[in-house]
Amino acid sequence: MKNILLLLLISIGIGSCREEVHWTNLLDKDLSQWDSYLSYKHQLGYDGQVPKDKEGNIIAPIGVNHPEYNVFTVIEENNEPVLKVSGEIYGCLYTREEYENYHFRLKVKWGDKKWVPRVDLLKDSGILYHSIGEHGAEYWRSWMLSQEFQIMEGHMGDYWNQATSAIDIKAFIPEYIMNPVADENQAFLPMGEGEITQGFCLRSANYENSPGQWNTLELICFEDKSLHIVNGQVVMILQNSRYVKQGKSIPLDKGRIQLQSEAAEVYYKNIEIRKLESLPDEYSQYY
């Protein structure tokens, strides 16, 4: 009887562990858990204003769910789905659901193509989290108000604020023309809308793999806190996620997830998410 009871307890324990590490796959051939938004083929000299044609007429953004442009397509590689983002038009894929308190992860690698206005610049994309409100709220008129986990050559894990978001990051304070740099031993530095420090911070170090190789990116979000993780290395520690509306600071701790199209070809696979009931010890140690 004791042996049977012991086996039952072990079985229950194993079941609980399995439940705790359950991941939800977010990528299939039909992109069934995503919608898309396309804005513009931005040109050199763009200054943040609404684009106009040669006659001075305002150009409307392309809008929601236009698959005919082939900016977001799913291909197959080694019998698994891979999201190809052409980058030719600015915009994003965005989840149909909103998420809070989660562990999000994916694999990413660069393609070969770049488009105006980034032909002579680094390849660029990003994970935009806690995304709320209307499309095109920020400078490029392409994305929702959100926090950005930067995906850029040599800059995976950087932070950008989008629209009126702000956050505190453990980072060295900037000096003169230098940017703030993330460091786990520093105090939290407020940055973004309404703060002295602008909404950009460099990751602590470069852990990107060689060109052509897949990189594993992980985003931990719990309550007001987040962590940017690149190939197993924590490169940024953030807290007090918020946005500013009519001069008032409002918590920003849930929303949709956007994957950017930003003038560079990029591939994603193994896009997964799991809910967090608490912040695991391996991550809570950073706070």
Cβ(102)–Cβ(274) under 8 Å? yes
Q: Which residue has the tokens 């140690």?
A: 285
Query: The CATH number of the domain where 97 resides is what?
Result: 2.60.120.560
| Distance, CA of 39 to CA of 64 (rounded, Å) | 9
In a domain, 12, yes or no: no
Contact 148, 156 (CB under 8 A): no
Flag whether 279 is in a domain. yes
Q: How far is CA 78 from CA 75, 82, 269, 270, 271, in A?
A: 10, 9, 11, 13, 16
pTM: 0.92
Residue-range definition of the domain harbouring residue 68? 25-284
Reply yes or no on whether the pLDDT at 5 is more than 60.
no
pLDDT in tens, 135-194: 999 999 999 999 999 999 999 999 999 999 999 999 999 999 999 999 999 999 999 999
Is 183 inside any structural domain?
yes
Q: What is the DSSP string of 236-278?
A: EEEEEEEEEETTEEEE---BEEEEEE-SEEEEEEEEEEEE-SS
Using CA atoms, how far apart are residues 51 and 95, in angstroms rounded to an integer? 27
